[in-house]
Structure 1
Amino acid sequence: MEKKNFISLLAAIAVLAIVLLLPNPETLPIVGQRALAVLAFAVILWMTEAVSYPVSAIMIVSLLAVLIGFSPTVEDPSVMYGTSDALEMAISGFSSTAVLLVAGALVLAAAMEITGLHRRVALLIMSKVGSKPGNLVIGTIIVSFVLALFVPSATARAGTIVPILLGIVAAFGLAKTSKLGALLMITAVQSISIWNIGIKTAAAQNMVALGFMESQFGIDIPWGNWFLYAAPWSIIMSVVLYFVMTKLIKPDLPETTEGNSIEQQLQNLGKMGGKEWRLIFIAAALLILWTTEGVLHPLDSTTLMIMGVAVMLIPGIGIFSWKEVQPKIPLGTLVVFATGISLGTVLLETEGATWLSSNSFELMGIDAMPLVLMVAVLALFNILLHLGFASATSLAAVFIPIVIALVAGMEPTSFYGPGLVLIMQFVISFGFILPINSPQGMLAYGTDTFTVKQFIKSGIPITVIGYLLIVLFSATYWQWIGLL
């Protein structure tokens, strides 16, 4: 182990111990304090990469099983959880449908790679937008936006884009670990997150927040209104993303010659084979079914994805055998993502996340702050809290009810309370800093095209600029159009 990684691991262990040894507040269950200690430990490991993501997942599950197992329950402090029940909590994320959706998307990406369809589609895109890195970044952002209009799942959109981007890298004859691979893959993940904010139906966490708002305030936010509120922010951030990524990563591309031109490579591929045509049919069917989810049929995105995988594995009419696809599925990615969901669930069940949020608000005196400062503080806390969640949907389930309670408990104010809640929901989708903070991030991370450090280098400026833009919009645009 490198010296800096060893120091980072020691720092994570030290922080874990410090939080565990702090006096237990009366309003925080002991098990909640221990869950928060594991959260602090996990965030340090994830941000420093002191150990690999899969190794960190095993360490986190072990800590949760032991620390929670020897903790009194929330319901009856005279009873201990026991390691068996604690382990069930620690691995609860493995039964999440989000994990299956990510797994299915990885299989779809593998199918496109095995058949070579990703390379053909990539060459067609390059023939339209050009092969310069800046043009490819623009093309990636545009595709992310268009898919967000129709596909109500960030993971499904990532599953569509990722294999195409791998094909673009392959079309240049570069390894997927090249700078071009990192540039395009990180751009795709960040763009998907940006448009999760701009479009109401782009992400499940938006629906969760709207459900809470309808229950508390008796209102719904029409699709067009949401777009009016959030799309300008997403448009500006898409431009910011372009400049951040093109300045951050500058790949050295091989010169295009007559022998390896885009047109020549397309010709060399020849006509599409039967497997490619079948994969196109399956992918198109998935895209159409995802787009019409809840409108023409009741099937959810994960069920559709698993059905698609089943069809691809059927002998004779499918794309590949399990033996062919299994080596291409990064199981470590799925383990890490499931562990992240488990940690978020534990923070909820032990009341650790709720205590952290509500008590922090009380200590900061948020209800007495001017409106823009209130937005700034709440948004910053939201962003920091997200570091411990692999699912924005889980974060929305924790954070949005607390913000609603804050607004409901305030005296009549000069601003529109539901508007403040909606703005905090926008910030829920700020999963820009760590790959584990979103399923699309973990899906892309599983391709081994970029490192966590590269992702953080792009995520920090995007987060800072996006945060400042949230504050600016709260002081100007959102007040002008009546959201606040």
Structure 2
Amino acid sequence: MSFNFISPPEPDSNRKLVWLFVAIALYLGVLFLPTPTGLTASGQVALGLLVFVIVLWISECVSPATSAILLVGFAVLGLMGKPLRAGGPPMNSTAALTSMLTGFSSTAVLLVAAALFLAVALKLTGLDRRVALLVMSKVGISRSRLILGAMLVGFVLALFIPSATARVGAVIPIMAGIVAALGLPAASSLGATLMIVTAAACSVFNMAVKTGAAQNIISLNFMQQSFGHTVTWGGWFVTALPFTIGMCVVLYVAALLILRPDVPAKEEAEARLREELAKLGPVSAVEWRLMSVALLLLVLWSTEGMLHPFDTTTTTQLGIALLLMPRIGVMHWAQAEKLIPWGTVVLFAAGISLGTLMSTTGAAAWLAQATLGQLGLGALPVFMVVGALSLFSIVLHLGFASATGLASTLIPIMIAFANTLPYGRETAFGIVLIQSFVVSFGFVLPTNAPQNMLCYGTGSFTIAQFAKVGTVVTIAGLLLIVLLSATVWPMMGVL
């Protein structure tokens, strides 16, 4: 951060400072309120911290990493002198800090960090660009084929790249190149369609692949803590498969009918794709090594719990170790560490710490009962409960720019509420698992997800165009969740 002591501060800086003071004021306001019945003093601090970080995340007045550091600091100040659990000893600063560092020792954080190294390897070798160009060149040039090609690229990259931002960042230049090769402006109907589909498909495949997004890992971490078991890579994929297929169909039809992309003669675009592929040259030795490791990881992930006893984190760590080894690997630590978004890792760990604190202090259970518990959902069939909770999540997501932040906030509350329902723990687990899919519903506004903003930054579409497609996809997605919760998922043993 740089400081200018001569020129007056930028208006945006003033706005950010105001929001930071608002967040601090709300945190202190919660702390000084009378402690509600059924809530511990440390639980009240946890709720204050929740309000604090929600304001930081929604306003984006500080960077994600800074919000994590502020969260830990204010947590220590608030928790000192209070017992972590009812009847426990009061905490000193060391004990309070220790309670907020639990997330940093989570295997989920290790998995996210390792997966980001995999994304960097794909970027350094150029394999992500080769895969995207190869898929688009094979699919062909027409309205329907281009939409299907953009979705297929998103799916293939989601299998190997856990960062939505990295995936979309690799695809945007290729989609823009296709539009330019066809002699169309970036803001043409085809340009708008390809960019909107790229962003929306990224959110869809975040839900399809366990390792496709950090919010999946953070959700499963909370579920492991509460229920004592998790979901394998293959189990997640199979569970999400009917929903993913349905969402792809909805996105395809919505993009085709609402945006109505125009595609002129295809020869020039096909020649452009062949030219770009030719520039990459033959597949290099490092690309072959990376493909071998990536395919090995995909096999190990998909056979977790069936052919071997290693979990996703362990196998990913082994894969990254191979990629960093001399001669066998494809990169050096010095290359990779400069490209890793360490702030994301810090935010992820702090989010887990906050969720754990809310569960440990009973704040999540109290908040779930004070909000969702007042709706009388326990008397409804399971599929209606899932629909109501999904609608609650979707509306809440409208104010969030980070699905990771939303998962940190929402999933502990969903777990606490699901455990109060009269359906049994396995059904409660399934309800929360479905909500971990819904956390990735960032379809309505460009500000709902970083990948949306990347695509919006190309100038290819308007907010209105994005919202039209996104609203249709969101409503159809909600209806699809209710339908699957009443039919397919109970037959699969999810509910």
TM range (shorter): 0.7 to 0.9
**Aligned residue type for 2:356:** T
Instruction: Determine the structure 2 residue equivalent to 1:412.
Output: none
SS in 1 for 2:162: helix
Alignment of 1:168-179 (within 5 A): 168-171=171-174
**Aligned residue type for 1:63:** F
Question: Are 2:439 and 1:426 equivalent residues in the alignment?
Answer: no
Distance 1:8 1:461 in 2: 33
Q: 1:310 aligned to 306, 321, 330, which one?
A: 321
Distance 1:434 1:49 in 2: 17
Distance 1:318 1:184 in 2: 34
Partners of 1:29 and 1:351 within 8 A in 2 = yes
Alignment of 1:75-224 (within 5 A): 75-76=86-87, 79-130=89-140, 135=145, 138-142=148-152, 157-159=160-162, 166-171=169-174, 183=196, 186-195=199-208
Question: Are 2:70 and 1:59 equivalent residues in the alignment?
Answer: yes
The CA deviation at 1:395 is 6.3
Alignment of 1:339-418 (within 5 A): 339-367=350-378, 374-381=385-392, 390=405, 399-400=414-415, 402-408=417-423
Question: Are 2:35 and 1:35 equivalent residues in the alignment?
Answer: no
TM (norm. structure 1) is: 0.72
Change (3 A) 1:297 1:261: same
Change (3 A) 1:9 1:398: closer
The CA deviation at 1:420 is 8.0
**Aligned residue type for 1:69:** M
Instruction: Determine the structure 1 residue equivalent to 2:460.
Output: none
The CA deviation at 1:352 is 0.7
TM (norm. structure 2) is: 0.71
Distance 2:143 2:432 in 1: 34
The CA deviation at 1:105 is 1.9
SS in 2 for 1:405: coil
Unaligned runs of 5+ in 2: 1-10, 178-185, 211-215, 444-448, 458-462
- Once the two structures are superposed, residues 370-429 of structure 1 have per-residue CA deviations (whole angstroms, 9 ceiling, x without a partner) of 8776555444455678879659699667634642432159xxxxxxx9768745542332
Distance 1:43 1:66 in 2: 19
Distance 1:306 1:37 in 2: 36
SS in 2 for 1:159: coil
Instruction: Determine the structure 2 residue equivalent to 1:293.
Output: 304
The CA deviation at 1:11 is 3.5
Change (3 A) 1:450 1:63: farther
RMSD of aligned residue pairs (Cα, Å) = 4.9
Distance 1:287 1:372 in 2: 32
Distance 1:325 1:231 in 2: 33
Percent identity of paired positions between Structure 1 and Structure 2: 34
Question: Are 2:337 and 1:322 equivalent residues in the alignment?
Answer: no
Partners of 1:313 and 1:321 within 8 A in 2 = yes
Change (3 A) 1:377 1:257: closer
Change (3 A) 1:80 1:461: farther
Count, aligned residues = 445
The CA deviation at 1:466 is 3.1
Change (3 A) 1:274 1:71: same
Distance 2:286 2:222 in 1: 39
Unaligned runs of 5+ in 1: 148-153, 198-202, 410-416, 436-440
Change (3 A) 1:186 1:337: farther
Partners of 1:15 and 1:41 within 8 A in 2 = yes
SS in 2 for 1:406: coil
Change (3 A) 1:61 1:318: same
SS in 2 for 1:56: helix
Distance 2:479 2:198 in 1: 25
Change (3 A) 1:382 1:33: farther
Partners of 1:196 and 1:429 within 8 A in 2 = no
Distance 1:29 1:482 in 2: 37
SS in 2 for 1:13: helix
The CA deviation at 1:341 is 1.5
Partners of 2:352 and 2:408 within 8 A in 1 = no
Q: 2:85 aligned to 65, 74, 88, which one?
A: 74
The CA deviation at 1:315 is 1.6
SS in 2 for 1:80: coil
Instruction: Determine the structure 1 residue equivalent to 2:280.
Output: 269
Distance 1:47 1:239 in 2: 31
Partners of 1:382 and 1:428 within 8 A in 2 = no
Change (3 A) 1:341 1:235: same
**Aligned residue type for 2:94:** S
Is 317-326 or 157-166 further displaced after alignment? 157-166
Instruction: Determine the structure 2 residue equivalent to 1:200.
Output: none
Change (3 A) 1:448 1:107: farther
Change (3 A) 1:273 1:285: same
- Once the two structures are superposed, residues 205-239 of structure 1 have per-residue CA deviations (whole angstroms, 9 ceiling, x without a partner) of 68997999999xxxx9xx99x96x97554433333
SS in 1 for 2:104: helix
**Aligned residue type for 1:191:** V
Change (3 A) 1:389 1:344: farther
